[in-house]
Structure 1
Amino acid sequence: MSSIPAPRRRTVLSGLLAAAAVPAVTACSGGITSLKGGGSGGSGAADSGAGLVIGTANFTENQILGHLYAEALRGSGVKATVKPSLGSREVVVPALEGGDIDLLPEYQGNLLLHFDKKAKETEAGELQNALAAELPASLEALPYAAAEDKDVFAVTRETAEKHGLKSYADLRKTDGELVFGGPAEDKTRVVGLVGFRERYDVTFKEFKALDASGPLVKGALKKGDVDIANLFSTDADIRENDWVVLSDPLHMVPAQHVVPVVRSAVADAPVRKALARLGTALTTSELSKLNRMVDVDREDPDDVAAEWAAEHGLTEN
Structure 2
Amino acid sequence: MNRRTALTTLLAGASAPLLAACSSGITSLKGNGAGGDSGNSSGGLVIGTANFTENQILGYLYAGVLSAAGVKATVRPNLGSREIVVPALRSGDIDLLPEYQGSLLLYLDKKATETEAGAMQNALATVVPDGLEVLPYAAAEDRDSFAVTRETAERYGLTSLDDLRRTSGKLVFGAAAEMKKRVVGLVGLKDKYGVEFKEFKALDSSGPLVKGALKKGDVDVANVFTTDVDIKENGWVLLADPRHLVPAQHIVPLIAARKADTKVRRALATLGNALTTADLTELNRKVDKDKKDPDRVAAAWLSQRKLG
Q: Same fold (TM over 0.5)?
A: yes
Q: Deviations over 1:238-265 (max 9, x none)?
A: 0011000000000000000000000000
- Alpha-carbon separation, structure 2, partners of 1:231 and 1:124: 21
Map of 2:27 onto structure 1: 18
Q: Deviations over 1:203-233 (max 9, x none)?
A: 0000000001000000000000000000000
Judge conservation of contact 1:23–1:139 (CA < 8 Å) in 2.
no
Aligned-partner SS, 2:210 = helix
Judge conservation of contact 1:147–1:284 (CA < 8 Å) in 2.
yes
Q: Deviations over 1:14-44 (max 9, x none)?
A: 6542348523339xxxxxxxxxxxxxxxxxx
Aligned-partner SS, 1:194 = helix
Equivalent position to 1:308, from 298, 301, 304: 301
- Alpha-carbon separation, structure 1, partners of 2:24 and 2:67: 25
What is the TM-score normalised by the length of structure 1? 0.88
- Alpha-carbon separation, structure 1, partners of 2:95 and 2:80: 16
Map of 1:41 onto structure 2: none
Map of 2:151 onto structure 1: 158
Map of 2:122 onto structure 1: 129
Judge conservation of contact 1:21–1:132 (CA < 8 Å) in 2.
no
Q: Deviations over 1:153-199 (max 9, x none)?
A: 00000000000000000001101100000000010000000000000
**Once the 2 structures are TM-superposed, how far is the Cα of residue 279 of structure 1 from its aligned partner?**
0.3
Map of 2:12 onto structure 1: none
Map of 1:105 onto structure 2: 98
Q: How does 1:160-309 map to 2 (within 5 A)?
A: 160-309=153-302
- Alpha-carbon separation, structure 1, partners of 2:26 and 2:240: 27
Equivalent position to 2:70, from 60, 69, 77: 77
Judge conservation of contact 2:24–2:138 (CA < 8 Å) in 1.
no
Q: Which amino acid aligns with 2:225?
A: F
Q: Deviations over 1:268-295 (max 9, x none)?
A: 0110000001000000000000000001
Q: Deviations over 1:283-309 (max 9, x none)?
A: 000000000000111110000000001
- Alpha-carbon separation, structure 1, partners of 2:69 and 2:31: 23
- Alpha-carbon separation, structure 2, partners of 1:167 and 1:216: 24
- Alpha-carbon separation, structure 2, partners of 1:23 and 1:135: 11
Q: Does 1:64 align with 2:49?
A: no
**Once the 2 structures are TM-superposed, how far is the Cα of residue 313 of structure 1 from its aligned partner?**
1.1
Judge conservation of contact 1:54–1:66 (CA < 8 Å) in 2.
yes
Judge conservation of contact 1:181–1:226 (CA < 8 Å) in 2.
yes
Give the length in aligned residue pairs.
285
Q: Which amino acid aligns with 2:122?
A: N
**Once the 2 structures are TM-superposed, how far is the Cα of residue 137 of structure 1 from its aligned partner?**
2.2
Q: Which amino acid aligns with 1:192?
A: G
- Alpha-carbon separation, structure 2, partners of 1:311 and 1:78: 20
RMSD over aligned CA atoms reads: 1.4
Query: Residue 15 and residue 305 in structure 1: after superposition, are their counterparts in 2 closer, same or farther (change >3 A)?
Result: closer
- Alpha-carbon separation, structure 1, partners of 2:25 and 2:78: 29
Q: Does 1:119 align with 2:129?
A: no
Q: Does 1:48 align with 2:41?
A: yes
Q: Which amino acid aligns with 1:67?
A: Y
- Alpha-carbon separation, structure 2, partners of 1:139 and 1:191: 24
- Alpha-carbon separation, structure 2, partners of 1:276 and 1:289: 21
Q: Which amino acid aligns with 2:45?
A: L
Map of 1:88 onto structure 2: 81
Q: Which amino acid aligns with 1:235?
A: D
What is the TM-score normalised by the length of structure 2? 0.90
What is the percentage of aligned positions where both structures have the same residue? 65
- Alpha-carbon separation, structure 1, partners of 2:31 and 2:126: 8
